[in-house]
Amino acid sequence: VQLVESGGGLVQTGGSLRLSCVVSGSTFNTLEIDWYRQAPGNQREWVVSIGRRGDSNYAGSVVGRFSISRDNLKNTVYLQMNDLKPEDTAVYYCKAQIAPYTYWGQGTQVTVSS
């Protein structure tokens, strides 16, 4: 299973970015996909999850600003990030778990300037 993130970049406070996570090597529509992020010096933290039916859960810090969706025809999960803040600066990773294994992408850098 491979996960490839893209869409990161540099944006000003209040700006928006859309991240993508393309999954290959598995039956995508059976997978729950999670997004995590890791800022320098911090532990990796969970951001949002989307189930195979499109149900989602968000960390409190991103509720109302981030939105996750999936396109099962394109094997892709999208993370729309609006009203970005400097504290959103991190490397963003997508993750899939097929017991007993966990698969991570390589990450995409998001930098929000103040």
Q: How far apart are CA 15 and CA 94, in angstroms?
A: 21
The answer to whether residues 85 and 64 touch, using CB atoms and an 8 Å cutoff, is: no
For position 54, what pLDDT does the model report?
A: 94
pLDDT, residue 25, reads 87
Residue 28's region, left for phi above 0, alpha for psi from -120 to 50, else beta, is alpha
Q: Which of 90, 50, 86, 89 is nearest to 67 (CA)?
A: 50
DSSP 49: E
Mean pLDDT, the chain, integer: 96
- For 8-23, how does the pLDDT look when each residue is reduced to its tens digit (9 = 90+)? 999 999 999 999 999 9
Question: Residue with structure tokens 């532990």?
Answer: 43
For residue 105, what pLDDT is reported? Answer: 98
